[in-house]
């Protein structure tokens, strides 16, 4: 996460953060705080947002979206998760110095290639990148465990976006433990148009499964399949409890999954709360062929591999 190398002049750095897929997403009945207990296995895959932070006297944030993702709506000023990271780091710094008056100052540019509102933790990736970049730029030297704690306050997926790789997440997804993963898994990602909001999908899941157990489905079977290193075995173990709710809200996702599997994917599923769908393939070559076939029938289809690193300095 944090990086010891000195910054060049002018002080500026770029941090890259990856999208995530939930290989297993077990969901339990909602807790008293409204969040759902999860047992999940995340994998970071090679679709990235890059965040560049430059030293400045005031605060500004701009976002550039990869045209391949189509027209997307982004949160307005002050609403963006990167603004929230900056405010949180500054309030921590104020607390440490007991001085007050530390306002965020930096020019930040986010270049997005992760599907927006797609169930791939694009916002969490930006937040993780912002934590790493601003911590460096402002010389805060926040210990990793404190950064993970601050990240968890802002969003359930952000601690995973910091650590990357493959990891099990429990609690509401924010308590993460790295998992050994020597596989090189090949994926096709189809960012379906028209976002499903995460809270809406959870609410719909509550309505569909009013008698759900408070215990989420455990991840053990998935972890065993992952250790085999065999995509055919992993394909049989992929599991997403939110898929039923996402497909009920967007029946076209069921058709898309069938289409990708007919094109040669070992298994397709909704990513997290959707609407992005992901397809596990036998090899990178097979993923290219599946993506080609999906594109020929009018879909946007990206290839990706995992696991990849968490948020890290690239320049
Ligand atoms: O924590 P995060 O900001 O990612 O959560 C977004 C929304 O997703 C929450 O407000 C909640 O409605 C839902 N959620 C949930 N249970 C979780 C994680 C998220 O109900 N474990």
- The enclosing domain of 236 has a CATH number of 3.30.70.890
State the Cα–Cα distance between residues 86 and 134, nearest whole angstrom. Answer: 7
- Structurally, the chain folds into a number of domains equal to 2
This model of the complex carries an ipTM of 0.95
Residue having the nearest C-alpha atom to atom 3 of ligand 1 = 155
Task: Report the pLDDT value the prediction gives residue 144, as an integer from 0 to 100.
Answer: 94
Annotated catalytic sites, by residue?
A: 20, 157
Task: Report the pLDDT value the prediction gives residue 99, as an integer from 0 to 100.
Answer: 46
CB 123 within 8 A of CB 155: yes
Do 287 and 202 fall into the same domain? Answer: yes
Cα of 101 vs centre of ligand 1, distance in Å, is: 32
Do 139 and 235 fall into the same domain? Answer: no
36 lines ligand 1 (CB under 6 A): yes
Do 211 and 294 fall into the same domain? Answer: yes
Residue having the nearest C-alpha atom to atom 21 of ligand 1 = 172
Closest alpha carbon to 158 in 115, 127, 134, 119: 127
Q: What is the largest CA-CA distance in the chain?
A: 62
Ligand 1: nearest atom to the Cα of 124: 4
Task: Report the pLDDT value the prediction gives residue 10, as an integer from 0 to 100.
Answer: 63
Binding residues for ATP: 115-125
Cα of 130 vs centre of ligand 1, distance in Å, is: 20
Instruction: Assess if residue 246 is contained within a domain.
Output: yes
Task: Report the pLDDT value the prediction gives residue 77, as an integer from 0 to 100.
Answer: 74
Instruction: Assess if residue 4 is contained within a domain.
Output: no
Could you say which of 128, 161, 179 is where a domain stops? 179
Cα of 169 vs centre of ligand 1, distance in Å, is: 13
Residue having the nearest C-alpha atom to atom 20 of ligand 1 = 35
Domain that holds residue 261: 185-306
Residue 206 main-chain phi, psi, to 5 deg: -60, -45
Task: Report the pLDDT value the prediction gives residue 94, as an integer from 0 to 100.
Answer: 64
Spatial neighbors of 9 by CB under 8 A, at least 6 apart, are none
Task: Report the pLDDT value the prediction gives residue 96, as an integer from 0 to 100.
Answer: 58
Ligand 1: nearest atom to the Cα of 173: 21
Ligand 1: nearest atom to the Cα of 27: 21
- The enclosing domain of 45 has a CATH number of 3.30.230.10
Instruction: Assess if residue 49 is contained within a domain.
Output: yes
Cα of 156 vs centre of ligand 1, distance in Å, is: 7
Task: Report the pLDDT value the prediction gives residue 256, as an integer from 0 to 100.
Answer: 97
Instruction: Assess if residue 312 is contained within a domain.
Output: no
Residue having the nearest C-alpha atom to atom 19 of ligand 1 = 35
Task: Report the pLDDT value the prediction gives residue 4, as an integer from 0 to 100.
Answer: 66
Closest alpha carbon to 41 in 190, 226, 214: 226
Instruction: Assess if residue 210 is contained within a domain.
Output: yes
169 lines ligand 1 (CB under 6 A): no
Rg (CA), the chain: 19
pTM (two decimals): 0.94
pLDDT tens for the chain, residues 1 to 315 = 666 677 766 699 999 999 999 999 999 999 999 999 999 999 999 999 999 999 999 999 999 988 877 777 787 777 899 999 999 998 887 665 544 446 789 999 999 999 887 889 999 999 999 999 999 999 999 999 999 999 999 999 999 999 999 999 999 999 999 999 999 999 999 997 776 899 999 999 999 999 999 999 999 999 999 999 999 999 999 999 999 999 999 999 999 999 999 999 999 999 999 999 999 999 999 999 999 999 999 999 999 999 999 999 998
Instruction: Assess if residue 47 is contained within a domain.
Output: yes
Closest alpha carbon to 57 in 104, 89, 90: 104
Do 174 and 43 fall into the same domain? Answer: yes
Spatial neighbors of 91 by CB under 8 A, at least 6 apart, are none
């Amino acid at each position: 996460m944090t990086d010891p190398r000195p910054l060049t002049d002018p002080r500026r750095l770029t941090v890259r953060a990856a999208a995530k897929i939930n290989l297993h997403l077990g969901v339990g009945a909602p807790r008293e705080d409204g969040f759902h207990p999860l047992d999940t296995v995340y994998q970071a895959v090679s679709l990235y947002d890059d965040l560049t932070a430059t030293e400045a006297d005031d605060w500004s944030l701009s976002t550039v979206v990869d045209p391949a993702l189509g027209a997307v709506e982004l949160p307005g000023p002050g609403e963006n998760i990167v603004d929230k990271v900056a405010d949180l780091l500054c309030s921590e710094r104020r607390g440490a110095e007991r001085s007050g008056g530390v306002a965020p100052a930096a020019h930040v540019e986010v270049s997005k290639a992760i599907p927006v509102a797609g169930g791939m933790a694009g916002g969490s990736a930006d937040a993780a990148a912002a934590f790493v970049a601003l911590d460096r730029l402002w010389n805060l030297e926040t210990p990793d465990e404190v950064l993970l704690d601050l990240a968890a306050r802002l969003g359930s997926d952000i601690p995973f976006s910091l650590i990357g790789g493959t990891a099990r997440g429990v609690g509401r997804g924010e308590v993460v433990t790295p998992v050994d993963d020597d596989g090189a898994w090949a994926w096709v990602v189809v960012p379906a148009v028209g976002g499903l909001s995460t809270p809406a999908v959870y609410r719909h899941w509550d309505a569909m499964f009013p008698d759900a157990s408070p215990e989420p489905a455990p991840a053990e079977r998935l972890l065993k399949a992952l250790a085999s290193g065999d995509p055919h075995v992993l394909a049989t173990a992929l599991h997403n409890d939110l898929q039923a709710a996402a497909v009920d809200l967007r029946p076209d996702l069921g058709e898309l999954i069938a289409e990708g599997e007919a094109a040669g994917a070992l298994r397709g599923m909704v990513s997290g709360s959707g609407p992005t769908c992901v397809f596990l393939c036998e090899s990178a070559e097979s993923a290219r062929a599946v993506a080609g076939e999906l594109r020929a029938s009018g879909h946007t289809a990206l290839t990706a591999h995992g696991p990849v690193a968490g948020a890290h300095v690239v320049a």
